[in-house]
Structures are given as structure tokens and as C-alpha cells.
Structure 1
Amino acid sequence: MQLKSQMTPKQKAYNDYVNQKTPNTKLFSGCVKAFLVGGIICTIGEGVSYLGRIVLGYSDLHAAAFTAIVMVFLGALLTGLGIYDRIGKFAGAGSIVPITGFANSIVAPAMEFKSEGLVLGVGAKLFTLAGPVLVYGISASIVVGLIYLVFNIS
């Protein structure tokens, strides 16, 4: 990196231009928003876990699987409805860290192609953009979870 005194006039002008156009970041408020929204998402996850353990009577292991399935589903649903993007713009990294951010990162690229139809647009892009391993892994976990739920396998 050059010292400011060693820069050419063009480099100085460019640096001034960049500094003028670069928005000021509000680090503290951004951290607070991320902390609060991430905390709210995690609190919802704890509520789902409580629902699985106390209300539905699942063991801790089954409640953990139930929670992961529900949170991934909610993240994908909110992404499909366009709500998760607004949460992400407000909270920044606070919306990415929990498991719902994982679902968002899979569904969001596919939603860009919904105008091409559900099969050739969303379905095809879901496999090419998110990677077959992620899609098959999530699909398999949902199927196995439903089998466990229906047949009450322990």
C-alpha cells in the first residue's frame, strides 16, 4: 500500500472519490440488529424444540431433529414468500447464522427462476445452484423424519 504522499494526482482523486461514495457503516447498530434478530430466530427454534419435547412428547434426540426440520422449512417458506430477504436486509449476519439462513441460501437462487415454471425454473435451478448433495440431504432428512414420526420409531 502506498503512502498518501507517494500517490499520483489520479490516485489521490480516485481515493477521494471512493471515500465520498462509500457509505458510512453503522457498526454498533448493525451488531445490535444482528444480535436481536439472530436471538429471535434462535428463540423461535427453542420454542419449536419445547413444543417437540413437552407438547409432542419427543425425546431430546427426536426433538432436535424435529426442530431442525421445522426451522429449515420455515426458512425456505419465508424465502419463497420474500419475507426472509427483508429480514436479511434489516439484520445482516443475524439472519445468516441460524439454520434458517442455510435454508435461505438454498432457496433464494432458485426463486430467481420461478418465472420459468416450477419444474424447469425453480426445480431445475434448485438442483444446479444449491448442489445435489444439499438438496438430497435435506430431502432425505425430511423423509426419514416423517417415517420416524409416522411409525414412532425410537
Structure 2
Amino acid sequence: MDQQQYQQIEDKITPPTPYLKNIIKAFLIGGLICTIGHAITYFYIIFFDFTETTVGNPTAATMVFLAMLLTGFGLYRKLGQVAGAGSAVPVTGFGNAVVSAAIEHKTEGLVLGVGGNIFKLAGSVIVFGVASAFFVALIKLILVSMGVVEW
């Protein structure tokens, strides 16, 4: 059997992927997560006297904390199975990645298990986030010093 015959057999056996259905579910559940984030934003603005410029960090921290809590109870995995990328792309996916790696390696101990593997998935996000923030700030500094934009 050559590669082409194998591919034909595989195409017959493999069920078609429901791309449109998956896209709609990811969009709706990702939108729901973002709507919850906006509700938390307005909660902080109304009850804790934050402004629109200062409310971003507490909202993101709360969303990450909620995702970590749901991951600890095993609920975020179920959400991810339904939502796909809709649950991974918002900031809650970061919290899920951190806690799921910690839970997976807790049997190896706190230092070598949890401590050594907690940022296994999320570490690349942190590294690229810091690096991109550095370069964006550097570009902005150059543009400000040239008088192209104002600070």
C-alpha cells in the first residue's frame, strides 16, 4: 500500500470536521467570557471607585483567578472541550495553562513538580509578552524622541 492509497482509506474512515460549528461555539463562548470580564470591569468601577484607565489590571487578575479556580475544580477542561479556542484565547486561558501544569505535576513534589513545571505552557506567553512589550515601548520612545507622536 502506498501513501496515496493510505490517504484514500483514511479519508473514508475519518469523520468530517465541523469547522463552522466549532467556529460559532468558540466565538460565542469566547464572547461570553469577555462579557463576564466587562461585567467585572463595571463592578469594579461602580463599587470600588476605579476609573476606566485603572480597572484593567484588577479585571484581568480576577479573570485569571476565576479560570484558575475553575481549572482546580475540573470545570475549565469541560469548557475547553466545548469552546476550543474560545476558552484558550482570552486571558483566562493563561490561568488555565498555569494551574493545569501545576496540577499535572503535583505528585512529583512542590519544588521539582509544581515549581519546575508550573510555567511550562504559560512561560512562552510570558517571555513573548515581555519581549513584545519591550520592543513596542522602544519603538514608541524612538517615535516620541523624533517628535512623530506625543507622550
- For the aligned pair, the TM-score class normalised by the smaller chain equals 0.7 to 0.9
The alignment of Structure 1 onto Structure 2 pairs a total of residues equal to 128
Alignment of 1:101-116 (within 5 A): 101-116=93-108
Q: Secondary structure at the match of 1:62?
A: coil
Matches within 5 A, 1:73-152: 73-127=65-119, 130-131=122-123, 134=126
Match of 2:30 in 1: 38
What is residue 142 of structure 2 aligned with on the other side? Answer: none
Tell me the amino acid that sits aligned with residue 62 of structure 1.
T
> Match of 2:44, as an amino acid?
G
Please point out which of 2, 6, 10 is paired with 1:18. 10
Alpha-carbon displacement from aligned partner over 1:20-49 (angstroms, at most 9, x marks no partner): 343311112111111111011001100110
Measured against aligned partners, the alpha-carbon deviations of 1:95-127 in whole angstroms (never above 9, x if no partner) come to: 112110122222222221122244442233115
Per-residue deviation at 1:51?
A: 0.6
TM-score (norm 2): 0.73
CA distance in 2, matches of 1:95, 1:10: 40
Instruction: Rate the CA distance shift 1:20–1:111 in 2: closer, same or farther, 3 A.
Output: farther
Q: 1:110·1:129 contact (CA, 8 Å) conserved in 2?
A: no
Which amino acid in 2 is paired with 1:125?
N
Compute the displacement of 1:128 (Å).
5.1
RMSD over aligned Cα atoms: 2.4
Query: Which whole-Å CA distance do the structure 2 matches of 1:103 and 1:21 have between them?
Result: 37
Structure with the higher helix share, 1 or 2: 1
- TM-score under structure 1 length normalisation: 0.71
1:56 is the counterpart of 2:48 = yes
How many Å separate the matches in 1 of 2:17 and 2:6?
20
Structure 2: 5+ residue runs without aligned partners?
130-151
Question: After TM superposition, which residue ranges in structure 1, 4 or more long, deviate above 6 angstroms?
Answer: none
The CA deviation string for residues 48-105 of structure 1, in whole angstroms up to 9 with x for no partner, is 1001101111111221111011011112222222211111110111111211012222
- Determine helix, strand or coil for the equivalent of 1:76: helix
